């Protein structure tokens, strides 16, 4: 299902282009994870996962509060 309002041939082309971009997005995520060292370990205990998300959300909050949108 899609919300793309095009003819069948145009839709095939658009969907193909969108799907082709997926490779580059996954590649970028992989590069970022390697640079940040996130590929070196895996969290399996709930307490570790909870602490990890607390750090992520705190960093996101600090960035959001310092963005130009709120100035």
Distance of alpha carbon 11 from alpha carbon 18, whole angstroms: 10
pLDDT of 66 higher than 60: yes
Q: Please, which pLDDT band fits residue 29 given cuts at 50, 70 and 90?
A: confident
Whole-angstrom distance, CA of residue 25 vs CA of residue 47: 30
Least confident of 4-8, 12-16, 23-27, 53-57: 4-8
Q: Which uninterrupted H or E stretch holds 20?
A: helix 8-36
Mean residue pLDDT of the chain comes to 81
- Joined tokens for residue 11: 């839709």
- Measured CA to CA, the distance from residue 55 to residue 48 in angstroms comes to 11
* CA dist., res. 44 & res. 49, Å (int): 7
């Amino acid at each position: 299902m899609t919300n793309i309002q095009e003819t069948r041939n145009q839709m095939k082309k658009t969907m193909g282009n969108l799907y082709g971009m997926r490779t580059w997005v996954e590649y970028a995520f992989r590069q970022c994870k390697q640079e940040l060292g996130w590929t070196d370990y895996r969290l399996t205990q709930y307490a570790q996962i909870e602490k990890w998300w607390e750090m992520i959300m705190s960093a996101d909050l600090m960035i959001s509060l310092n963005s130009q949108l709120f100035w």
